[in-house]
Amino acid sequence: MMTNRDKAMRVSSRVFRSTLGSALAFALVAPAFAQERAPESLLPPAVTPQTSTPAAGGTATVVPLPVAPGGSASQPVVQPLTLPPMPQYPEVMQWSADSAGKLLTVIEGIGAEGLDPADYQPEALRAAIAAGAGAALDEQASRMFTWLVQDLRDGRTPMDSRRQWFVVDPDPDLLPTGQIMEQALASGDVAAALQGLNPTHPDYAALKEELGATPRASTSRRNLIRANMDRWRWLARDLGNQYLLTNVPEFQLRMTVNNRIIRSYRTIVGKPGRTATPQLAETVEGVIFNPTWTVPQSIVKGEGLGNRVLGNPGWARANGYKGTRAENGFVTVVQQPGPGNSLGMMKLDMPNPHAIFLHDTPNRNLFDNQNRALSHGCIRTERALELAMTIAILGQGASKEEAVEIARSGEYTRVPVSRQMPVYITYFTMARDIDGELRTFDDIYGRDAPVLAALKAPRVEQRQRVTDEELIVIEDDLQTT
């Protein structure tokens, strides 16, 4: 006679086969599709993949690493990266009245970029131009050009108004202010030098177009557009050829090639409060198939799971738990791979101090909810096995056949990818949706208000580059949520 558990396992097996079939169907065509879109290069240059071990209680299988000359798979040879020294530029450069006049024209029209011309002292610059070339003009024009570069490149919103923003923008290093000023003065095209700082993502252009079409009387809408235009400046100007981007309030994840969405996935994100999903820019270094789940101590100890697992071995086995008690009494519980594992059949290995990652879930019915702010901070992704296989194949960590075999094995397996993929966890309350339509989304974490307030307040001149906001380490998701 078939028990309820046997029936559940049979259903899970059917679900697995169905999921694997749809995952493989897309994974097989994705590389060809991607190559068609970007034949020159889809991903950043290859890097040496690193091995890792599973959580306690799991058995690791790691796809072998290539052996570098003079090294070994376990200790790969890493060539040091040598960068040329950053050129030094003076803070004040020599400006002609003509070049300063072009700068003034840019300032007067900077409202089209969602910035306020008054922030850049147009009257003081006009007076300096009228007084003629000299030290006063050089100082005023250089300072206003610097302010424009900072706001267009890095965003006008100071760091203390960006809630749970942990992205370090690389643009100040890639596009130093002095270099931009020197180019502007050498070419004579001040406007082009500043225009080149705008984000390349098409959503920024869509917001800019919407701002131009929105009547000035619609103050609230215009301010919301400006706030979300500024959010694009907080990120790298160019996100790369291929990346994953999730907009938390939209509950959607995109796989993007050359700024075109080739696949989208519904998501479940963190609940408001301390478990709200932070904003990050990380990198997928590997794909973990059939992951283990190390249960947080808030559940092991706080909810009594540790005692239940150790006191009821039969129940623990039926639910895939292994518990150990150390000599000092500390209890560790690890849920083994299986259809009921809280992380589902995969998670993306994207190391970060917040312990945030993208993963599967056994509770796939929750993707039908309209409000999907339900997790402890990590991002659960629908059709996660499809996503995992595609990344493993595109990242050259496994062939199509290997990916299928690994997924079917039921064993913890980390597949390192030699071509890593950026992941951007963003928060836009006005953006183009997955269908390309400009929409507003609920401000589920209340992050708009400080940005809007900062845009109304006087411009902050000295701004820190890294947040000092509390870093909240997110616990892995509860199985029952």
CATH number at residue 32: 2.40.440.10
For residue 305, the cross-strand partners are none
User: Is residue 234 domain-shared with residue 244, that is, in the same domain?
Assistant: no
Read off the tokens for 389.
């296989």
CA 359/CA 346 separation, integer angstroms = 6
* Entry pTM: 0.83
Nearest to 289 by CA among 56, 65, 29, 16: 16
User: Is residue 252 domain-shared with residue 215, that is, in the same domain?
Assistant: no
Q: Which amino acid is at 376?
A: H
Q: Which amino acid is at 162?
A: R
Is residue 87 in some structural domain? Answer: no
Helices (H), 353-399: 384-394
Is residue 186 in some structural domain? Answer: yes
pLDDT in tens, the chain (481 residues): 444 444 444 434 444 455 555 555 555 555 554 554 443 333 334 333 333 444 444 444 444 433 333 333 333 333 444 545 656 788 999 999 999 999 999 999 999 999 999 999 999 999 999 999 999 999 999 999 999 999 999 999 999 999 999 999 999 999 999 999 999 999 999 999 999 999 999 999 999 999 999 999 999 999 999 999 999 999 999 999 999 999 999 999 999 998 899 999 999 999 999 899 999 999 999 999 999 988 888 789 888 999 999 999 999 999 899 999 999 999 999 999 988 898 999 999 999 999 899 999 999 999 999 999 999 899 999 999 999 999 999 999 999 999 999 999 999 999 999 998 999 999 999 999 999 999 999 999 999 999 999 999 999 988 888 998 988 776 544 433 3
Is residue 173 in some structural domain? Answer: yes
User: Is residue 347 domain-shared with residue 335, that is, in the same domain?
Assistant: yes
CA 386/CA 408 separation, integer angstroms = 13
Is residue 363 in some structural domain? Answer: yes
The pLDDT score that the predictor gives to residue 302 is 85
Is residue 437 in some structural domain? Answer: no
Considering its fold, how many domains does the chain have in total?
Answer: 2
Domain boundary among 238, 265, 286: 238
Is residue 455 in some structural domain? Answer: no
Is residue 254 in some structural domain? Answer: yes
User: Is residue 255 domain-shared with residue 404, that is, in the same domain?
Assistant: yes
Read off the tokens for 112.
């089209």
φ, ψ at 260 (rounded to 5°): -115, 130
User: Is residue 41 domain-shared with residue 126, that is, in the same domain?
Assistant: no
Domain of residue 267: give its range: 18-65+240-426
User: Is residue 264 domain-shared with residue 340, that is, in the same domain?
Assistant: yes
CA 418/CA 66 separation, integer angstroms = 10
User: Is residue 109 domain-shared with residue 195, that is, in the same domain?
Assistant: yes
Find the angle CA(386)-CA(391)-CA(393) to the nearest 5 degrees.
95
User: Is residue 218 domain-shared with residue 245, that is, in the same domain?
Assistant: no
φ, ψ at 353 (rounded to 5°): -70, -10
Domain boundary among 426, 453, 471: 426
* Tens digits of residue pLDDT in 101-112: 999 999 999 999
User: Is residue 277 domain-shared with residue 407, that is, in the same domain?
Assistant: yes
* Tens digits of residue pLDDT in 63-119: 443 333 333 333 333 344 454 565 678 899 999 999 999 999 999 999 999 999 999
User: Is residue 392 domain-shared with residue 248, that is, in the same domain?
Assistant: yes
Domain boundary among 386, 401, 426: 426
User: Is residue 234 domain-shared with residue 266, that is, in the same domain?
Assistant: no
User: Is residue 255 domain-shared with residue 315, that is, in the same domain?
Assistant: yes
Is residue 25 in some structural domain? Answer: yes
